Chain A
């Protein structure tokens, strides 16, 4: 920013003694320099953001989930995140980006960006006018990677690896690409910024990422069934240390996820950064207090789970709400998700092993609805002067948000069920009882996570 100012000042003083023909050229040079500086700033921030979001998957989520499972499944669980870094990337490069962000119907993109044709240094003004489209593409790829990785929380410790690869591939095509297109793609049904019929405010992916994966996770948990011995046999996290490290990496990485969704190094990015951080903090505290009151001791698992719940809930709201509402959204998410993973899960008895539904599905829904309440044009004038959420006087936005949630959930439920049926027919989804008892590290990967003999 100060480089822009000093450049301007210098050129203006130089202008004072310039000839008329010179003036035009100098103004044009000034303009170019300013744009170039802004672009450089935007691109630098976006590349860092992309790296931060990838870090959320590896090692953030890998560690977070890895620590929560039993020792005999630690590698298999980490692999469920890691392999997606590779698999989704290749799919995205060939056709994924095109289906998500290409030009097509309100429901899915077309083939115009297949094999990343025309995705290069030139910006795509529909999405991000100041950065190369390739930057936008690689940034979005990191979202595409982490979304399916979240689902693995539901079927941890009992899913066949071959089935995972097939499942994830199909899930990208049937659920993620359509949802990403609907919310963020040009012409998408729910795209508020680009004229969607049902404008839904989802700044960084509460619906696209968290509701789709969270609801899909529930379907998986129900379809695959409970782990052998659940809930009577103790299945404690084998390393809360790994999980805590993972949760911290998720928190830091989330700045790339939310603030990076501003697609520029702008004051909106700052606003989203602040909202994100505040929500995480408030949620960690509220879950901790809720648990302390309920069980008598504030667990570390509770505190870190709370922070993740807050981060999930603020995801759709991050670029639309003020800091104080962000604290409120976080606090609400902490308590709500605490109830979901303790009371509700116990009541219905499903084995959502790592609470993908309880935190991401539920937290994402809460966040999306609260976005309809607290979104304000004072933070983000996306609709050119029109009111955004309830606080702006547009209470009806909550209904649009609900529609977005319903579509995400519907797509997740139907898509996932169909995909599970296919996978079961082709390779069989659930590990055999012997494989489950031996542990997936050995049975699926022929390895052990920890070999303490020297």
Chain B
């Protein structure tokens, strides 16, 4: 029997620092809710709005798989591995922090607000060599399709990480229905609605709502609006 938990948009943690308007799906920084610590190995889902030219100066990370998906605008990234890059909407960036890495992230544009999703997963192996990757996503391929954008397999399209996790993005026409098969036994799915209205396993979700589902091998999906866009995160439910 599948189990689920709803995460409504207005129950997320919120911190407005002026230049940064952040919504936290799970406990992060000064937002602490013992009931919202993680969904399986998914520990952080931050939905950040960052003013033009502003951002996070150099800061360290370790032992975390960090995935950044810009929804609007562009991020300027620099790190201690020597990477210097701009990640635009329609691209994805991953960083395996492993033994330790420092990086900075800024809105690359002065006059356009940046909206990004930053996602942290606990790794399946500690103290790996730090690693960076960035890919352009096939936006057309996600029309009425959950297009895989991340996996644990280096041979797959798009990016890979040190965790048995699969991410997919889909953009759907109204009334489109499909089923998503969970990739690995023991994984659950955290579905985050980027835009529009959808029904997942019969639960109606609107923009920025989410549902976590586990103890099942598939989920049913229906788009209720013409602009529905959803990120599925298929992640292990057991912490390593």
Determine if chain A interacts with chain B.
no
B interface with A by C-beta (< 8 Å): none
